[in-house]
């Protein structure tokens, strides 16, 4: 019994000792509860400005309002739309460059600027071979004049862009961007009297039919070509072509004055020398097989070819040491020269190869 009383007394004493100890700890070392202070003062903010290092926006601004939409009509019927740009102005008129094929067969032409103003345009001159036409409008409708650049200073990979109206007025002022994909390309173009070769710049900037006549522009906002063609094949995509601005302006200096561009006449009817069956049908047979050149089918009287002694059956191989690849290439090489120039023609006749100097003293236009 005595042991039980001792046990109970010990438990009670331990309880009170524990309570007393806990009290002393709390009093001597109070627990600090963390407090949270809510500030009502506004937070400071910082404005961050983001800029594009490769934007072409400044260049676009230089050319944008110089570009116009062209609508061609035959009577009251719209026959085509395209693009053009103002390249100069005077006190009365603004002068516009576009493609020949944009205004071909049109009886009246209207242009729309980026303010939506539609005005009548006058055709000053047009040339099928260079695919260049020049129009004039009232100077009051000119918003800006384009700056001309130099295509010869371009390098492959340089940034280029176009401004145009790919689907007419609905998409007027469309900008597309690409690079210079190729220089000094030659492409074949169908003409009323056969194929013709054109010297062009190649770009991967999106060019659609309504872009024809619009500017191809460098990163400085300068026009270095006018869009003219698009190669469309199932296996090829993104190949656009533009006429170098130097070739364009050489035609413009005549067309803006209403002058016809005179091209030299050689005075020969020709056929591709590599087409043996076609030559046979023309009454011509050769013991040799030609890899290049054009065969003379007939000679016109009183022409440079006749004066130089060229004859039916001769195969013209080169002009001024440049090999002729076909009929279109022959015209391309010949039309690089002016009336009055003298060229060297290398030709085949009866198993021999000879050369002769030919003075181009007549023009195609004068012979028509």
Cα separation, 113 vs 71, whole angstroms: 12
Burial class (CB in 10 A: 0-12, 13-18, 19+), 59: buried
User: Does the structural domain 149-255 have CATH classification 1.10.10.60?
Assistant: no
**Are 112 and 69 within 8 A, CB to CB?**
yes
Classify domain 268-367 at the CATH topology level. Pdz3 Domain (2.30.42)
Termini Cα distance of the chain: 149
Measure the CA–CA gap between 85 and 106, rounded to whole angstroms. 19
**Does residue 332 contact residue 232 with C-beta atoms inside 8 Å?**
no
Choosing among 3.30.1600.10, 2.160.10.10, 3.60.15.10, 2.40.10.10, the CATH entry for 57-141 is 2.40.10.10
Instruction: Give pTM, 2 decimals.
Output: 0.74
Token readout for 328 is 């279109």
Catalytically active residues are 101, 131, 212
> Distance of CA 122 to CAs 109, 162, 336, 358, Å?
7, 25, 29, 39
Please, are residues 230 and 216 in contact by the beta-carbon 8 Å criterion? Answer: no
- Could you list the pLDDT tens digit for every one of the 368 residues in the chain? 555 554 555 555 555 555 555 555 455 555 454 554 555 555 566 666 655 667 899 999 999 999 999 999 999 999 999 999 999 999 999 999 999 999 999 999 999 999 999 999 999 999 988 899 999 999 999 999 999 999 989 999 999 999 999 888 888 989 999 999 998 787 877 766 666 778 899 999 988 878 899 999 999 999 999 998 755 454 556 788 999 999 999 999 999 999 988 889 999 999 999 998 888 888 999 998 999 999 999 999 999 999 999 999 999 999 999 999 888 889 889 988 989 999 999 999 999 999 999 999 988 766 65
Whether 57-141 and 149-255 share one fold: the answer is yes
């Amino acid at each position: 019994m005595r042991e039980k009383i001792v046990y109970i007394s010990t438990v009670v004493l331990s309880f009170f000792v524990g309570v007393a100890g806990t009290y002393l700890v709390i009093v001597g070392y109070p627990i600090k509860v963390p407090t949270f202070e809510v500030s009502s003062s506004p937070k400071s903010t910082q404005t961050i400005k983001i800029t594009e290092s490769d934007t072409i926006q400044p260049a676009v601004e230089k050319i944008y309002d110089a570009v116009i939409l062209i609508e061609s009509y035959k009577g009251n019927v719209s026959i085509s739309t395209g693009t053009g740009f103002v390249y100069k102005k005077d006190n009365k008129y603004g002068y516009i460059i576009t493609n020949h094929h944009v205004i071909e067969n049109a009886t009246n032409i209207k242009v729309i600027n980026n303010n939506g103003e539609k005005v009548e345009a006058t055709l000053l001159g047009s040339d099928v071979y260079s695919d260049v036409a020049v129009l004039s409008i009232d100077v009051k409708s000119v918003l800006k004049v384009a700056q001309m650049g130099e295509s010869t200073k371009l390098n492959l990979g340089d940034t280029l862009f176009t401004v145009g109206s790919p689907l007419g007025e609905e998409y007027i002022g469309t900008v597309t961007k690409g690079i210079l994909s190729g220089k000094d390309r030659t492409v074949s173009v169908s003409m009323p009297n056969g194929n013709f070769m054109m010297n062009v710049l190649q770009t991967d900037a999106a060019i659609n039919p309504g872009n024809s006549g619009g500017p191809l522009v460098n990163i400085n906002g300068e026009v270095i070509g006018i869009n003219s063609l698009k190669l469309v094949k199932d296996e090829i995509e993104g190949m656009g072509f533009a006429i170098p601005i130097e070739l364009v302006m050489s035609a413009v200096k005549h067309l803006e004055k209403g002058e016809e561009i005179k091209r030299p006449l050689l005075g020969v009817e020709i056929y591709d020398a590599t087409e043996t069956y076609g030559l046979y049908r023309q009454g011509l047979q050769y013991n040799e097989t030609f890899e290049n050149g054009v065969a003379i089918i007939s000679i016109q009287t009183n022409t440079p070819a006749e004066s130089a002694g060229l004859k039916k059956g001769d195969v013209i191989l080169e002009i001024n040491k440049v090999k002729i690849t076909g009929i279109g290439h022959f015209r391309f090489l010949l039309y690089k020269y002016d009336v009055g120039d003298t060229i060297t023609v290398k030709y085949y006749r009866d198993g021999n190869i000879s050369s002769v100097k030919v003075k181009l003293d007549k023009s195609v236009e004068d012979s028509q």
